[in-house]
Amino acid sequence: MKKRWIAMLLCMAMGLSALTGCSGGTDTTQAETAGEAGTQGASGSGDAASAGTAYRVLYSSEVETLNYLTSSSSVEQTVGANVIDTLIEYDNSGDMVPQPGMATEWSYDEASMTWTFKLREGMKWVDHTGTAVADVTAQDFVDALKYVLTPSYDSGTAYIVFDTILNASEYYDGQAGDADAIDFSEVGVKAVDELTLQYTLKKGAPYFLSLLTYVCFMPAYGPQLEEQGAGFATSADTMYYCGAYYIETYEPQVQMVYKKNTSNWDAEHVYIETIQRTYNAEADTIGAEMAKRGEIDYTTLGSDVVDSWMQDPATSNMVSMERPSLDYSYFYCFNFNVKKLNEDCYRDGMEGYSMSDEYEPWNWELAVNNENFRQSLRHAINRISTIYVNTGDNIDPQNFMENTITPAGFAINTQNGQDYTEQPAFADIMANDSYNEELAKQYKETAMTELAAEGVTFPVKVLVRYNPSTTNWEEECIVLEQQLESVLGSDYIDVVVEAGPSTGFLGAVRRASDYMLMLCNWGADYADPETWTDPFYQAANGDGTYNRGSRYAYLAYAIEDNTASAETVKEYFALVEAAKAITDDLEARFAAFAEAEAYLIDHALAVPYGVSVSNFVVSKLNVWEGQSASCGVSNLRYKGQKVYENPISMEEYEAGLAAH
């Protein structure tokens, strides 16, 4: 973890220590967490539970699929993270030094741009009963990648493979009928023998190893993929497992039960034998009281209850925090696509608006393509106020605010030790908070004149959506509505706050582009600034359209529809393409990506927000013991974690913080 981040968090933790107790808390047995636990902390809350202890979890957001090869949702990728192993993995230090996983060694030939991995002998696939059914071989990685590159399976992470593996995009386009088909043998993945795997890159990728803890590079048992096809991983018994756990039971909106995989190559470091996940739509509401009664092991504590818990001697020693993370960045997206709300409509030439007339999407379409309008909203957003909803008086909200999309501390130039956000292109952005009421009003006046001339009627409706199962998000949106309308006036905008579904939110809202302005996030797929361009940059297809992928800001619609923002978006895309082309000079690469990101921000194509706010929690897992990395799915794993007799105290949390 980088020094800047450590210093900030130490200040945060020391400010909290005066409010915390030192003795152990009440025994509990149920929890949900991103996935870390481990050894005893400073205050001695109790020995870790003996092997065989069950870890029971309440959850309120159901997965839509178990298929890790197609999902791009972190909720669903948690499944793959725990039941499928990867070629490399990371330890709990957060230092991002690759450790042997399913591969024991690897090498790179620069001339051929080929990586070669040697797999462990004796690794097994098991079924949903834990019975070994086959050996894990190099071919399983090849077959899994072919599945990812099959258009009909609609993998949400295939774009990563397009960008890195030789002929991957060409094969995909050929299978989709968009280009001449090529044989899969021409794609840069090959099983040299049963235990030797090779990847050939399409370009230099200094970050390639860090990609390998992501779901699209996970293996799957080839014969099962061929048999199941689109039915793969639709239930516990339609997939095989090679990770720390297997899924014994999966009943949607009832329960999911993970069991320790005793056939796993590293089973000795898997300490929790059973993870019982129980669905409850009200988990976030009832969690605190259930934790207090000792009925669950984990719950997040909303800002409305943290103060009372910390001030109550009976509960103060039960409160700790999640491990701070740099693997997610949050930002406000302006939706440039209010005509075509789903993939079925994408590029079909429809002229109407599939968003409901009540939101007047024709008004928004003109408004969002006016830079002065976007700038007025950008400068009217008081990020401190909205982050405060999550932190209250317990943490300084500014500690979680970021002026860039790429978090400070995420990328360090190994050539000169400089943090990416210290690039000259960010000088003004880093020096000034974008919140500026006077500037917001100036942009408003200019925008109103320009938009009125285009036939826009006021106030412009601004649809803001949120997931009701996400703690405090509704409250954040209400604060956002109040501040925007207060600064800019209800004569200019009418912010409409609406809930989306608690299950399948990303598919129903973000991926369906069923919003106008929304707080979005992106998780780093690999350790390089390029990963933070993925929500925004769209590659041209050569036919006047652009690749959608996971680019949920839909910037390319400005070009396709020849709007007022077309040239701005084209310039941003060109800057990204120039940066992507630099693979042999890290200093020049960082500078080029910084120029592109600064352009995105300066032209209000997106508004940086911050990093994940560390929730206050009640947890019997020590967050400092789990795997930790700023990209991939390592943070989602339970491997290496132990269940404690009592919840971790803040003193124990602070001891771990100081050590990391």
**Residue 192 scores a pLDDT above 90:** yes
Task: Please state, in angstroms and rounded to a whole number, the distance separating the CA atoms of residues 506 and 501.
Answer: 9
What average pLDDT score do residues 141-166 get?
95
Two structure tokens written together for 650: 């803040």
**Residue 291 scores a pLDDT above 50:** yes
**Whose structure tokens read 């020849």?**
562
**Which parts of 353-440 are beta strand (E)?**
none
Two structure tokens written together for 399: 């500690």
Rounded to the nearest angstrom, the gap between the alpha carbon of residue 238 and the centroid of all alpha carbons in its chain is 26
327 versus 186: the higher-pLDDT residue is 186
Task: Please state, in angstroms and rounded to a whole number, the distance separating the CA atoms of residues 315 and 649.
Answer: 10
197 versus 387: the higher-pLDDT residue is 197
**Residue 392 scores a pLDDT above 90:** no
The pLDDT tens digits for 479-534 are 999 999 999 999 999 999 999 998 888 888 988 889 999 999 988 888 889 999 98
pTM higher than the cut 0.85 = no
| DSSP alpha helix (H) spans, 528-627 | 556-560, 566-580, 586-602
603 versus 39: the higher-pLDDT residue is 603
Residue type (1 letter), 518: M
**Which parts of 121-235 are beta strand (E)?**
124-126, 132-135, 189-193, 196-200
Residue 325: predicted pLDDT? 73
Residue 284: predicted pLDDT? 84
**Which parts of 14-113 are beta strand (E)?**
54-59, 88-89, 99-100, 103-109
What average pLDDT score do residues 325-343 get?
79
The pLDDT tens digits for 40-63 are 233 335 455 544 588 988 998 889
What average pLDDT score do residues 251-271 get?
96
Residue 405: predicted pLDDT? 96
Question: What mean pLDDT value characterizes the chain?
Answer: 87
Residue type (1 letter), 133: V
The pLDDT tens digits for 19-34 are 222 222 222 222 222 2
Band of pLDDT at residue 285, cut at 50, 70 and 90: confident
**Residue 360 scores a pLDDT above 60:** yes
**Residue 139 scores a pLDDT above 60:** yes
**Residue 367 scores a pLDDT above 80:** yes
Residue 563: predicted pLDDT? 93
CB 290 within 8 A of CB 30: yes
Residue 537: predicted pLDDT? 94
pLDDT winner (highest mean) among 3-12, 18-27, 290-299:
290-299
**Residue 107 scores a pLDDT above 80:** yes
What average pLDDT score do residues 634-652 get?
93
- CA-closest candidate to residue 422, choices 411, 435, 432: 411
Two structure tokens written together for 96: 């991002």
Question: What's the number of CA atoms in the CB half-sphere (13 Å) around residue 387?
Answer: 23
**Residue 658 scores a pLDDT above 60:** yes
CB 557 within 8 A of CB 364: no
Lowest mean pLDDT among 125-139, 313-327, 456-470: 313-327
Residue 388: predicted pLDDT? 87
Residue type (1 letter), 129: T
30 forms bridges with which residues in the sheet? 56
The pLDDT tens digits for 368-391 are 999 999 999 999 999 999 988 877
**Residue 447 scores a pLDDT above 90:** yes
- Contacts of residue 2, Cβ cutoff 8 Å, sequence gap at least 6: 408, 409, 412, 419
Residue 512: predicted pLDDT? 85
Residue 341: predicted pLDDT? 54
Rounded to the nearest angstrom, the gap between the alpha carbon of residue 626 and the centroid of all alpha carbons in its chain is 18
The pLDDT tens digits for 586-642 are 899 999 999 999 999 999 999 999 988 788 899 999 999 999 888 889 999 999 999
CB 326 within 8 A of CB 635: no
DSSP state letter for 509: I
Task: Please state, in angstroms and rounded to a whole number, the distance separating the CA atoms of residues 320 and 199.
Answer: 42
- Contacts of residue 497, Cβ cutoff 8 Å, sequence gap at least 6: 464, 466, 474, 477, 478, 480, 481
147 versus 548: the higher-pLDDT residue is 147
Q: Are strands 196-200 and 114-119 parallel, antiparallel or unpaired?
A: antiparallel
Residue 506: predicted pLDDT? 85
22 versus 539: the higher-pLDDT residue is 539
Residue 352: predicted pLDDT? 62
Two structure tokens written together for 435: 């919140």
Distances in whole angstroms, Cα of residue 36 to Cα of each of 136, 261, 616, 624: 27, 18, 15, 6
Band of pLDDT at residue 91, cut at 50, 70 and 90: very high
DSSP state letter for 321: E
Residue 9: predicted pLDDT? 34
610 forms bridges with which residues in the sheet? 330, 401
- CA-closest candidate to residue 549, choices 222, 80, 151, 174: 151
Task: Please state, in angstroms and rounded to a whole number, the distance separating the CA atoms of residues 622 and 649.
Answer: 9
Residue 597: predicted pLDDT? 98
Band of pLDDT at residue 552, cut at 50, 70 and 90: confident
